[in-house]
């Protein structure tokens, strides 16, 4: 395997040289394999860089149009689908989910609101019964089980990260209202008209330009067992029922399925543009996607707390908005506490700061061990803000 220094390609405004430096340092000092970053400020692309390798054997260079699975960074575009429907008066975020999905009222969930789905407060962080990878790829089976199950906690009282169930929950509401699964809705309403290179799942025609994910080294089994033994049932269900990683995400089954919490594929530019809709207060390149009021609603905080699933991973309490996470005191999305965004398992990120006019997309294929705030992402975000 060649370990030669990877080449970095693309464009970086001179004002943002620190971002290029941090991107290069990620390869040299932080174990990057292949990656890309795009940054837009006030509608102008100021950073568009890519480099490294699209495969662990280092035989395929990361190209300008390389796409990669971005895990939970997909959740931002899925939330955007729901907010588009709400902006059109077709979806009431304060209505019970059962108004749109009657079967969902089972097991005491008749008062769960749409906003609870968007903010990880529905109490459905993971299935109660064993749910395999094949089950997850079956939309009807997964949504049927979620509709029938009892919540792990009282909905609306606290957040508990819905790692894999989020996309099926929000996505089924999108489907019930629009008649389309979120991937098709996103393509019809946003990515198609705006030419954004992002899909939920991966069409077979794009498989040749997809980067292969590489999972972080596994901890010793004894250490894993010790960690899992300390997790509450709601957290265990969210993270291990089913457990998925790089191996599953590179399979044809994963790529063919609709798993809107985790199987979005795109370039860094695509992520920056999708999150850029919110940075532009609903506008992207002069195209109005959301009203300014609807774009602002996405970051409406739902209450800071120690998240039941992610709590141990953050120094302070976190706060979910209506589909994305606030930067808050943790500074996960830069120094503006009202900036917001979403990380993907292993490192990727979409960031929105309307006050600074900034959107950022970062994608990579060598996964780190963290669900959020990977050191490579943090270095890039700090470099962007140092240049503003």
DSSP helix/strand/coil, 363: strand
Backbone angles phi, psi at 222, to 5 degrees: -65, -35
What is the Cα–Cα distance from 318 to 315, expressed in whole angstroms? 9
Q: What tokens were used for 375?
A: 């050191």
DSSP helix/strand/coil, 56: coil
Helices (H), the chain: 17-29, 75-87, 114-118, 133-136, 139-148, 165-178, 182-186, 192-194, 221-229, 233-240, 246-249, 252-256, 268-279, 292-297, 375-387
Options 14, 72, 178, 348, the catalytic residue: 72
Strand partners, 37: 49, 362
**Per-residue exposure over 256-268, b if at least 16 CB sit within 10 Å of its own CB, e if not:** ebbbbbbbbbbbb
Strand partners, 36: 50, 363
Residue 244, class by beta-carbon neighbours within 10 Å (0-12 exposed, 13-18 middle, 19+ buried)?
buried
Q: Is 72 marked active-site?
A: yes
Query: Would you please indicate which residues are annotated as catalytic (active-site) residues?
Result: 72
């Amino acid at each position: 395997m060649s370990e030669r220094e990877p080449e970095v390609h693309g464009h970086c405004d001179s004002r943002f040289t620190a971002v290029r430096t941090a991107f290069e340092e990620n390869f040299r000092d932080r174990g990057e394999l292949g990656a890309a970053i795009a940054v837009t400020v006030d509608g102008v692309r100021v950073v568009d860089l890519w480099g490294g390798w699209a495969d662990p054997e280092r035989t395929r260079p990361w190209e300008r149009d390389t796409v990669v699975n971005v895990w939970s960074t997909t959740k931002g575009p899925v939330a955007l689908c729901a907010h588009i429907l709400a902006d059109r008066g077709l979806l009431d975020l304060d209505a019970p989910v059962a108004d749109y999905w009657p079967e969902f009222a089972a097991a005491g969930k008749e008062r769960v609101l749409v906003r609870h789905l968007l903010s990880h407060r529905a109490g459905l962080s993971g299935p109660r019964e064993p749910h395999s990878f094949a089950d997850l790829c079956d939309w009807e089976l997964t949504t049927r089980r979620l509709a029938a199950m009892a919540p792990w906690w009282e909905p609306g009282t606290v957040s508990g990260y819905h790692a894999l169930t989020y996309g099926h929950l929000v996505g089924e509401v999108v489907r019930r209202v629009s008649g389309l699964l979120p991937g098709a809705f996103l393509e019809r309403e946003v990515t198609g008209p705006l030419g954004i290179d992002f899909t939920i799942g991966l069409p077979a025609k794009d498989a040749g330009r997809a980067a292969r994910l590489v999972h972080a080294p596994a901890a010793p089994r004894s250490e894993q067992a010790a960690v899992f033994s300390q997790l509450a049932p709601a957290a265990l269900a969210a993270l291990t029922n089913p457990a998925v990683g790089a191996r599953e995400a590179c399979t044809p089954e994963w790529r063919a399925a609709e798993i809107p919490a985790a199987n979005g594929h795109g370039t860094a530019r695509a992520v920056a543009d999708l999150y850029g809709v919110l940075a532009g207060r609903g506008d992207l390149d002069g195209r109005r996607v959301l009203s300014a009021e609807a774009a602002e609603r996405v970051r409406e905080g739902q209450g800071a707390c120690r998240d039941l699933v992610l709590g141990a991973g953050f120094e302070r309490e976190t706060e979910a908005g209506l589909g994305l996470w606030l930067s808050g005191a943790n500074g996960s999305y830069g120094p503006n506490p009202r900036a917001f965004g979403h990380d993907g398992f292993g490192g990727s990120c979409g960031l929105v700061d309307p006050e600074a006019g900034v959107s950022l997309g970062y994608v990579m294929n060598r996964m780190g061990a963290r669900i959020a705030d990977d050191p490579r992402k943090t270095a890039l975000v700090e470099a962007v803000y140092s240049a503003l």
